Structure 1
Amino acid sequence: MTGVMEGVRILEVAEHTFVPAASALLADWGAEVIKIEHVERGDAMRGLASAGVAAVPADVHVLLEHSNRGKRSLGLDLTSAEGRDLLYRLAATSDVFLTNKLPKVRAKLQIDVESIREHNPRIIYVRGTGQGERGPDADRGSYDSLAFWARAGIASGLTRPEYGHVPSPPAPGFGDSIGAMTIAGGIMGALFHRERTGVASIVDVSLLGTGLWAMGQALGLSLVLNMPWEPLPLNAMANPLVGNYLTKDGRWLAFSCLQAGRYWPPMCEVIGRPELAVDPRFADHTALRDNSTEAIALLREAFAERTLEEWRSRLADFVGQWAVVQDTQEVAVDPQSVANGYIQDLETAAGVPFQLAAAPVQFDERPPATRRAPQFNEHGDEILAELGLDWDTVVDLKVRGVVA
């Protein structure tokens, strides 16, 4: 793979997933990322022991690995003048400064735009926030389950009255990872703009804004029709070939054949009911829509007669669009995932093997190679030496708690 970000240095002062995962993507694509961590505890993610429904393994902190792969780590006390001076010296040699600190914290630590650009006017300054840089909630922290999921309308769009509850996000860091991809794209655009014009931009991405973009089509329809977006009732399928069907062994098949009239005859062949293709009730798209209840009932009955593996065989040559509803273990060994390098094999510093999802953008027809996340302050001495500090100075800074 071409390392399209090679030669770019990113200085990160951020924790958790949303913002760090953005520079992790850029590291996969060749950027050098220096991660500044709290001088004593490191990134707060290092202490997270559970993802809500599953414990994080002690020997492989995959949540940390996902959002910090390929970086170098330096523990630094940014509340001290000497710690900030070291940060400023790193900023002077960096292309991008990336942070998720709130406005009041950025001001307190003196890592706001003006403070950083005083040491490097050409640096691209990137802020990842919960609700945006302006407005009454600009200085309030958030998580993807709140700003992206609940506040942006995604949870509401999935909530059905019969559930009696609001669905939770499907995975830890779900909105964070989507938002990180958005930040990474913004950084690449800002770098291109600076290359062409010499002007360094300020880049802002929020979880709320990312959630609104993900809901963009529903939002547009909602506003033009002057009604809130709500999910369709469970049995409101107007097109019998758009929906999910249960197999004999309790698995689900998902179909999205938008041209029902075109795909109905071949579907009838697949289920072994060719006579339904010429049934007047299902003669064309309009007839299928008008008689969707009957068509759906026939399909449900048919799919319940065979197992998933039997349907895989029967659907292999089906011209319509379909997929098996898979879990995370299944998709990891999906032939398409394997063939395209969508799952990467790694090892921790201790040599423990694990796997992660690859960066979703490939350059020159090869998946990006992923490297493990750093241990806390793993590269501290190395980075300080690159700044020209001799060992006696480094030891003195360690003793006084300025560096880890």
Structure 2
Amino acid sequence: MAAPLEGIRIIDMTTVMMGPFATQILGDLGADIVKVEAPGGDSMRAVGPARHEGMGPLFLNANRNKRSIVLDLKRPGGRDILLRLVSGADVFVFNARPKAMARLGLSYEEVARAAPGIIYAGAYGFGEGGPYAGRPAYDDLIQGLSAVPSLAMRASGTDDPLYAPVVLADRVVGQSLAYTILAALIHRMRTGEGQAIEVPMFETIAQFVLGDHMGGRTFDPPEGEMGYARLLAKYRRPYATSDGHICVVVYTDRHWRAFFELIGRRAAFEDDPRLADMATRTRHIDALYALVAEELKQRTTAEWLELLEKADIPAMPLHTPESLLKDPHLAAVNFFRTVEHPTEGRLVSMRLPARWSSAARAEDLPAPPLGAHTREILREAGFADGEIDHWLGSGAAVETSAA
């Protein structure tokens, strides 16, 4: 079976997490991802425990189904090689700031001259039309600027703003970058037109956050305060049981009725005006969740999971990262796989969550050592062996010992 994106070639000049996560999604779907790295390699290669230098876990988990070529774009010939690669590709994706791309001679106009019809996809901190354009951006900065830590502070009732302990902005924007590239490819298929597309982090995450929390400011003039009360409730958290914690969502009319029956207080449900409907419950959600929290302390986690399942109230155990690896559902759907990496040995890998009934990548490529495919990719671009030796000798291209 052919993978959905088989035959699509993407020249990937992204680093860290946002861009690599996007291109791994596209690679998992069958695109040929040529990862262009500077001589020092993607900085994520150095993060976390590793068996060999440059092959850390964050890199391994965001760069499968890619091939690595090392080019020094600051040396004579490096840019020419890159443009040669792009001329045979469908997409050129990067996360350097536009001014840096222009300094390298890689603006959209310059790239499009070498590769008419190219999808030129840039993902960076801020859109070019605003005062923040050109500023550096990292996940923490974008989370803070988009109010994620402030919302966490409001929800916890403390004075301590906290970042989400995942690279939330990078991964959400990475997914946005992936689907935007796919939309541009469909547009080109229909019209024959390539184009430059911009996927800014701040605007993407601002929309992500405000979609939940615009509240009354959705209206002009405003019809109330900002914030979705249920998400900001102090007791919207995993609940303590007598021996641990449990995750429970008591949400619909049916859920609340069933919960009050479960705790032997059916009459209280009928008589409490705070439970009349969803709008009323939302206004009183913190007090209602406090009631749930108090009741759940009375039994063990196992007892509650059994009772709540019988009552058809959504409930799940609270995992740690360690216990998540042993989750029975993930095991049953073969989410985790043990794979043999050619240089790193046995690795635990996660598959693409989506499944396809009639299209799939036949075999995953392991995350590549730095420059492992330089010579191979240059040959595919039409360079003769003598030219390749010249570029390798000049330092414009680099082939590592791991190749």
TM range (shorter): 0.7 to 0.9
> 5+ residue gaps in structure 2?
399-403
Separation of aligned partners in 1, 2:73 and 2:62: 22
Partner amino acid for 2:25?
L
CA distance in 2, matches of 1:84, 1:293: 58
User: Is 1:111 paired with 2:103?
Assistant: no
1:186 to 2:169 alignment: no
Decide which moves more: 177-186 or 300-309: 300-309
Query: Whole-Å Cα distance in 2 between the matches of residues 359 and 183 of structure 1?
Result: 17
Show the 5 A alignment for 1:2-401. 3-38=3-38, 40-47=39-46, 49=47, 55-59=48-52, 61-147=56-142, 149-160=143-154, 162-171=157-166, 173-221=167-215, 222-224=217-219, 225=222, 229=226, 244-259=238-253, 262-270=254-262, 273-274=263-264, 276-279=265-268, 281-282=271-272, 285-286=275-276, 289=281, 299-364=292-357, 370-401=364-395
Contact 1:99/1:127 (8 A) holds in 2? yes
Length-normalised TM-score, structure 2:
0.85
Q: Which moved more, 1:366-375 or 1:15-24?
A: 366-375
- Aligned equivalents of 1:137, 1:373: Cα separation in 2: 34
Report the residue type matching 2:258 in the other structure: P
Contact 1:32–1:71, Cα closer than 8 Å, also in 2: yes
Taking the aligned partners of 2:23 and 2:233, their CA distance within structure 1 comes to 43
Instruction: Indicate the SS of the match to 1:98.
Output: strand
Distance 1:234 1:138, change over 3 A: closer
Residue 123 of structure 2 aligns to a residue whose secondary structure is: strand
User: Counterpart amino acid of 1:7?
Assistant: G
SS in 2 for 1:166: coil
Distance in 2 separating the partners of 1:184 and 1:234: 28
2:76–2:396 contact (8 Å) kept in structure 1: no
Task: Give a deviation string over 1:58-114, Cα, whole Å, max 9, x none.
Answer: 456121122211100000011234111111111111000001111121011111111
C-alpha distance 151-300 of structure 1, shift in aligned 2 (>3 A) = closer
Q: Which moved more, 1:340-349 or 1:158-167?
A: 340-349
- SS of 1:67's equivalent in the other structure is coil
Q: How far apart, CA to CA, are the structure 1 residues paired with 2:125 and 2:257?
A: 49
**Matched position secondary structure for 1:346:** strand
| CA displacement, residues 284-331 of structure 1 (integer Å, 9 cap, x when unaligned) | 932995997886565434321222222222223222223333223333
- Given the superposition, is the C-alpha separation of residues 169 and 4 from structure 1 closer, same or farther in structure 2, using an over 3 Å criterion? same
| Counterparts in 2 of 1:132 and 1:284: CA distance versus 1, 3 Å | closer
Opposite residue 301 of structure 2, the aligned amino acid is: L
In structure 2, do the counterparts of structure 1 residues 393 and 29 end up closer, same or farther at CA, with 3 Å as the change threshold?
A: same
* Count, aligned residues: 387
Once residues 252 and 146 of structure 1 are traced to their aligned partners in structure 2, the CA distance between those partners, rounded to angstroms, is: 32
Matched-pair contact (CA < 8 Å) for 2:238–2:245: no
Q: For the residues of structure 2 that align with 1:127 and 1:45, how far apart are their CA atoms?
A: 19
Q: Distance in 2 between matches of 1:143 and 1:154?
A: 14
- SS at the partner of 1:64? helix
Contact 1:218 1:229 in 2 (8 A): no
Instruction: Specify whether residues 145 and 365 from structure 1 end up closer, same or farther in structure 2 by C-alpha distance, changes over 3 A only.
Output: farther
Alignment CA distance shift 1:134-1:65 (3 Å): farther
Contact 1:17 1:67 (8 Å CA) reproduced: yes
Closer, same or farther: CA 375–236 of 1 in aligned 2, 3 Å: closer
Is the CA contact 2:250–2:259 (under 8 Å) kept in the aligned structure 1? no
